[in-house]
Chain A
Amino acid sequence: MKSTAAGTGTNHAEGEVLTLNVGPQHPGTHGVLRVVVELDGEIIRRATPEIGYLHTGIEKQMEARTYLQNVTLVDRIEYLASYNEEMAFYQAVERLLGVEPPPRARAIRILMCELNRIGSHLMFLAAGTLDVNVTSVFMYAMTDREKYLDLSEMLSGQRMMPGYFRPGGVAQDLPDGFVAAARTFLDGLPGRLDEYERLLSDNLIWRERLEGVAPLAREDAIALGATGPVLRGSGIAHDCRKLLPYGGYDEYDFDVPVRAEGDAYARYLVRMEEMRQSRRIALQVLDRLPDGPIIVDDRKIALPPRAELARSMEAVIHQFKLVSEGIHPPAGDSYVATESPRGEKGYFVVSDGSNRPVRAHVRAPSFYNLQTLPAMIEGHPLSDLVVAIASMDIVLGDIDR
């Protein structure tokens, strides 16, 4: 461990307390997270997360950009789940505008969000197993995530940070061969997940490092604002896709996996099952993919089709106005809860009727989930800290923004 001892020991009644800095540069923190722990021997008496090392002022920058430009910034917040991030942002903007994307756009959005959820959970599996030193699963999961990244590249040209969603729809239609490629990926997935579960569920090291480790009581999870697999791993069936359906999720069948144990192993099991459920949703989308336009037919919101620019002066003017000035959502604020792979993600967007948001706040699931860290590890050995952080699956870009 590359931890550096900071400060000196203090004499307490129960023994000597050592203050130890874990991070901000530490491979187990999945980014630049610093945790100040007070150790009594090997037992953590107090843990204080210190964040902000990756703060880039995205919320401030968003106030100086138009709604179309901001897609570039929101991609970089929860960078392992950029499609879900764009979904959250544009749901809030579309609620302000009062527009609904056409059916095909809604289906493509859900398809990409669910593929992204699989990709993100595979990244959790890879990073989590690496933290516990199960390196073979790390290699396998990264190989599978590569297939998701290839799909993203095929669709948007980008492996990460796609910038693919637009207000009222998506940027382009699915390319030729995408549906077949997505099916190949999804068909191969259950066999791979079974293999991981065989490799991990029968693995003594994995089970002993996760079972009963980093426990989070149901009441603590609720009180500290945890969402996503952390909350569902503590026994609460809370999934915004089911409870507050957005973007057309109510048209698809899926289950919300819940585990009551509240430990790191429960969170791992929840994510494994969520990948299967995401596959189920994605297959339903592929089966019933509707035809039709991929973006709303409103020239004040969506760019005119490229071919129209050669024929219509009006289209050229609309194109110019949208690119230079952007859209003007009516004054007001909006918030739409969406379910990112890490929990509830929502954008609180305030508009004054101009072409830039007055305020764009991100309800970041990792930020609130991180608050549960002290509850998980206080009174437990230092070695559980890395497991606790891995099982929360935080993204520091999401915490610090």
Chain B
Amino acid sequence: MDRQAVNHESLLDRLRPHVPWGLTTPREERGRSIIFVTVGALLDVLGAARDRLGLDMLVDLTAWDRIPASPRFEVVYLLGRAGSADRLTVKVQADGDPPRLPTATGLYRAAAFAEREVYDMFGVVFDGHPDLRRILMPDDWEGHPLRRDYSLSEEPVEFHGHTPKVPSAIIPYFPPGSGSGSGGTTPPGGPQP
């Protein structure tokens, strides 16, 4: 465990001379090296991680909707090195309509599918992507399903003499710190019944 902590420490330290450090916020969290960057510094950091640290794999690229916070979307890049335990998480936040980010496909070819998925699910536009189309949803789909304000539509469960409820409305949502027995509420901006 100690050896790993030293490794992670040195990963961020080794990155420091090669990136505009003032535009980034490094953090160690539960054994992960995480670096927050601004949109402008994103490609510099990804490029430095690839060329200076040897992080040659884009292991994963995803996003999540921070609504009601602003900037609304956080895109998460997980970089790794083939045959090694080095891992670096790069986070960037994007806002706007549509939110825009530069593409990482020039640095990591693996980003091609992943950026299409983030575009499909969240509507984040990656400028310069060679083929930015929907990937999982049909081409003519409207909206971006994994946004928190996109309602989760479901088939109501029919019972005799009962007003049907959609299944996700049956499970109450308990916000952090809610009192015991409060009965739960609807999640903020979350899947609405």
**Measuring CB to CB, which residues of chain A are less than 8 angstroms from any residue of chain B?**
51-52, 55, 57, 59-61, 63-66, 69, 95, 222-225, 227, 231, 236-238, 243-244, 321, 324-325, 328, 331-335, 337, 344, 346, 348, 350, 352-356, 358-359, 361, 363, 367-368, 370-371, 400-401
Listed by A's residue number, 11 A-B pairs whose Cβ atoms lie within 8 Å are A64-B190, A65-B171, A223-B110, A225-B59, A325-B184, A344-B59, A350-B64, A356-B173, A358-B190, A367-B113, A401-B136
Question: Per-residue CB proximity of B99-129 to A under 8 Å, as 1/0?
Answer: 0000000001110111001000100000000
Q: In the bound complex, do residue A355 and residue B173 qualify as a contact, i.e. CB atoms below 8 Å apart? A: yes
Q: In the bound complex, do residue A335 and residue B168 qualify as a contact, i.e. CB atoms below 8 Å apart? A: no
Cβ 8 A contact of A353, one of B89, B152, B177, B191 = B177
Q: In the bound complex, do residue B136 and residue A400 qualify as a contact, i.e. CB atoms below 8 Å apart? A: yes
User: Could you tell me the distance between the alpha carbons of A334 and B30 in the complex, rounded to whole angstroms?
Assistant: 8
Q: Knowing A244-B87, A371-B112 touch, does A325 contact B174 (C-beta < 8 A)?
A: yes
Nearest B residue to A346, CB-CB: B60
Q: In the bound complex, do residue B135 and residue A371 qualify as a contact, i.e. CB atoms below 8 Å apart? A: no
The answer to whether B58 has its CB under 8 Å from any CB of chain A is yes
Q: In the bound complex, do residue A66 and residue B171 qualify as a contact, i.e. CB atoms below 8 Å apart? A: yes
Q: Knowing A223-B110, A335-B32 touch, does A59 contact B174 (C-beta < 8 A)?
A: no
Cβ 8 A contact of A65, one of B57, B112, B168 = B168
Cβ 8 A contact of A236, one of B82, B110, B136, B152 = B82
Q: Knowing A236-B83, A238-B82 touch, does A51 contact B32 (C-beta < 8 A)?
A: no
Q: In the bound complex, do residue A354 and residue B175 qualify as a contact, i.e. CB atoms below 8 Å apart? A: yes
Q: In the bound complex, do residue A52 and residue B138 qualify as a contact, i.e. CB atoms below 8 Å apart? A: yes
The answer to whether B76 has its CB under 8 Å from any CB of chain A is yes
The answer to whether B146 has its CB under 8 Å from any CB of chain A is yes
User: Interface residue count for B (Cβ, 8 Å)?
Assistant: 51
Q: In the bound complex, do residue A371 and residue B56 qualify as a contact, i.e. CB atoms below 8 Å apart? A: no
Cβ 8 A contact of A52, one of B65, B136, B172 = B136
- Interface set, chain B 152-166, CB cutoff 8 A to A: 152
The answer to whether B24 has its CB under 8 Å from any CB of chain A is no
Provide the residues of chain B in CB contact with A355, threshold 8 Å.
173-174
Number of A-B contacts (CB under 8 A): 133
Q: Which of A69, A95, A224, A324 has the most CB of B within 10 A?
A: A224
Provide the residues of chain B in CB contact with A236, threshold 8 Å.
82-83
Q: How far is the CB of A51 from chain B (nearest CB, A)?
A: 6
Q: Which of A60, A400, A401 has the most CB of B within 10 A?
A: A60
Q: In the bound complex, do residue B146 and residue A59 qualify as a contact, i.e. CB atoms below 8 Å apart? A: yes
Q: In the bound complex, do residue B112 and residue A244 qualify as a contact, i.e. CB atoms below 8 Å apart? A: no
User: Could you tell me the distance between the alpha carbons of A328 and B110 in the complex, rounded to whole angstroms?
Assistant: 34
User: Could you tell me the distance between the alpha carbons of A237 and B82 in the complex, rounded to whole angstroms?
Assistant: 8
User: Could you tell me the distance between the alpha carbons of A57 and B152 in the complex, rounded to whole angstroms?
Assistant: 10
Say whether chain B's binding surface is mostly helix, strand, loop, or mixed: loop
Provide the residues of chain A in CB contact with B180, threshold 8 Å.
321
Q: Which of A69, A95, A367 has the most CB of B within 10 A?
A: A367
User: Could you tell me the distance between the alpha carbons of A331 and B177 in the complex, rounded to whole angstroms?
Assistant: 11
Q: How far is the CB of B63 from chain A (nearest CB, A)?
A: 8
Cβ 8 A contact of B110, one of A59, A69, A359, A371 = A371
Nearest A residue to B188, CB-CB: A352
Cβ 8 A contact of B78, one of A238, A325, A335 = A335
Q: How far is the CB of B154 from chain A (nearest CB, A)?
A: 8
Provide the residues of chain A in CB contact with B172, threshold 8 Å.
324-325
Provide the residues of chain B in CB contact with A363, threshold 8 Å.
59-60, 62, 78
The answer to whether B26 has its CB under 8 Å from any CB of chain A is no
Nearest A residue to B141, CB-CB: A52
User: Could you tell me the distance between the alpha carbons of A353 and B174 in the complex, rounded to whole angstroms?
Assistant: 9
The answer to whether B5 has its CB under 8 Å from any CB of chain A is no
Provide the residues of chain A in CB contact with B167, threshold 8 Å.
64
Q: How far is the CB of B132 from chain A (nearest CB, A)?
A: 14
Provide the residues of chain B in CB contact with A352, threshold 8 Å.
175-176
Nearest B residue to A358, CB-CB: B64
Q: In the bound complex, do residue B136 and residue A55 qualify as a contact, i.e. CB atoms below 8 Å apart? A: yes
Nearest B residue to A61, CB-CB: B152
Q: In the bound complex, do residue A60 and residue B30 qualify as a contact, i.e. CB atoms below 8 Å apart? A: no
User: Could you tell me the distance between the alpha carbons of A321 and B184 in the complex, rounded to whole angstroms?
Assistant: 12
Q: In the bound complex, do residue B82 and residue A231 qualify as a contact, i.e. CB atoms below 8 Å apart? A: yes
Provide the residues of chain A in CB contact with B83, threshold 8 Å.
236-238, 243
Q: Knowing A63-B190, A222-B82 touch, does A354 contact B174 (C-beta < 8 A)?
A: yes
Nearest B residue to A239, CB-CB: B83
Q: How far is the CB of B134 from chain A (nearest CB, A)?
A: 8
Q: How far is the CB of A312 from chain B (nearest CB, A)?
A: 18
Cβ 8 A contact of B108, one of A66, A223, A325, A348 = A223
User: Could you tell me the distance between the alpha carbons of A272 and B112 in the complex, rounded to whole angstroms?
Assistant: 31
Q: How far is the CB of B157 from chain A (nearest CB, A)?
A: 14
Q: How far is the CB of B175 from chain A (nearest CB, A)?
A: 5
User: Could you tell me the distance between the alpha carbons of A57 and B173 in the complex, rounded to whole angstroms?
Assistant: 20
Q: In the bound complex, do residue B171 and residue A69 qualify as a contact, i.e. CB atoms below 8 Å apart? A: yes
Provide the residues of chain B in CB contact with A400, threshold 8 Å.
136
Provide the residues of chain A in CB contact with B146, threshold 8 Å.
59-60, 359
The answer to whether B29 has its CB under 8 Å from any CB of chain A is yes
The answer to whether B23 has its CB under 8 Å from any CB of chain A is no
Nearest B residue to A220, CB-CB: B109
The answer to whether B187 has its CB under 8 Å from any CB of chain A is yes
Nearest B residue to A361, CB-CB: B62
User: Could you tell me the distance between the alpha carbons of A114 and B3 in the complex, rounded to whole angstroms?
Assistant: 27
Provide the residues of chain A in CB contact with B148, threshold 8 Å.
63, 358
Q: In the bound complex, do residue A243 and residue B85 qualify as a contact, i.e. CB atoms below 8 Å apart? A: yes
Q: Knowing A236-B83, A354-B176 touch, does A52 contact B190 (C-beta < 8 A)?
A: no
